[in-house]
A and B are shown apart, each in its own frame.
Chain A
């Protein structure tokens, strides 16, 4: 079955740049989406279509994709950005959606 691979954890100090990667064989042809989930809450989309930011999401959140690797970048990470981040995409068929395993971002 199709898988998206993320690092389990990333840690940065406030104000630093955090980068979270997502690896998947179909990513060259399929969009990546990024969801932020804070403790006890439903996820919220922060990046869609690889690089687009929904309204209301701070500009410090950006996305990129190259080959089989999608990256979520948080420029000048803040304490309130501490959360679990999940990439989401589909296999080459376009039907089977899958979440990455999630990355716990620590900002301290």
Chain B
């Protein structure tokens, strides 16, 4: 059974960097069949897709966060990570990591659905 678990500080000061790690167990992150994604949800609000990393290190980010965001993968540890710089109170949210299916045909690749999620971790930006 695949499991994902987020870890990192629950409290970050404004203007500092938010760092989270997602540890994957029960399956290898080194797979061409999946993207590894981050999604967040501010308290009482909707879901926001943050970005993904492929096991090769290829990434794609939400354009609204791109200038502050780095998502990376460590295949040796079966982990992927998120770093968001210059945080403000607007970055306060539950952060989820998730596995998203990937399928390829006719020399193009497309995403499928998120089939496994972490439990989510609340990160509060406050002084």
Tally of contact residues, B, Cβ under 8 A: 22
B113, A86: Cβ atoms closer than 8 Å = no
B115, A45: Cβ atoms closer than 8 Å = yes
Known: A42-B117, A43-B117. A1 touches B63 (CB 8 A): yes
Tally of contact residues, A, Cβ under 8 A: 23
CB distance from B66 to the nearest CB of A (A): 10
B117, A48: Cβ atoms closer than 8 Å = no
Contacts of A35 in B (CB 8 A): 47, 114
Give Cα distance in the complex from A86 to B117, angstroms. 15
Q: Does B74 contact A (CB under 8 A)?
A: no
Residue of A nearest to B48 (CB): A99
The contact string, 1 if C-beta is below 8 Å from chain A, for chain B 60-103, is 10111000000000000000000000000000000010100000
Residue of A nearest to B108 (CB): A94
Residue of B nearest to A84 (CB): B46
**A35-B114, A54-B113 given. 16 additional CB < 8 A pairs?**
A1-B64, A33-B113, A37-B47, A42-B98, A42-B117, A43-B47, A43-B114, A43-B117, A45-B115, A84-B46, A86-B46, A94-B110, A96-B60, A97-B111, A99-B49, A101-B46
